[in-house]
Amino acid sequence: AGFTAVNLSGCDFCKKPAKNPEGHFVLWQLPPQTHSQMNSYVLRTTGGKVIVIDGGCSGDASYLRGFLGSLGNHVDTWFISHTHLDHVDALIDILNNPYRLTIDTIYGSLPDEAWVEKNEPSACTTLKSLNVALAQSGHSCTELDLGQMLLIDGVKFEIIGIKNPELI
């Protein structure tokens, strides 16, 4: 399946939401809430914008929602690296049950359902669930391009990987 990879420039690591050091952003790698592997990163820019990368499994959704609540219940940008359940199931849960959490923009490079059905059928249910959750929540996934640069409140994101439908 496709995989979106980003390259970030300069960060500080903290264990809990705290004031950003002047001129820096803060990046948290959230701990898994289940026994499954997962990827969930939250970044807060110097100007206070909140960026999420992936989010983890559905069992991580409650913790992630609480963590984002402590940052103001607003996500400016959400990146999806790829559509395996340990990366997007928490986002699916949040899109289906946002409570007070709002998300402005979702970025990713999502493969077509037909491609996934043929080449990675075990991942098709997750992709279909994500597509339904996006549509029902009124969100869409903004397609990323290889080499694209995004500057979000002083943090530069370079897209170094996207879906590769020509690979099997």
User: At 160, which amino acid appears?
Assistant: I
| pLDDT tens sequence across 112-125 | 999 999 999 999 99
| pLDDT tens sequence across 143-168 | 999 999 999 999 999 999 999 878 75
DSSP notation for the chain: ----EEEE---EE-SS--PPPTT--EEEEPPPSSSS---EEEEE-TT--EEEEE---GGGHHHHHHHHHHTTSEEEEEE-----HHHHHHHHHHHHS-TT-EEEEEEE-PPPHHHHHHH-GGGHHHHHHHHHHHHHHT--EEEP-TT-EEEETTEEEEEEE---TT--
| pLDDT tens sequence across 22-51 | 678 899 999 999 999 899 999 999 999 999
What pLDDT, on a 0 to 100 scale, did the predictor assign at position 164? 86
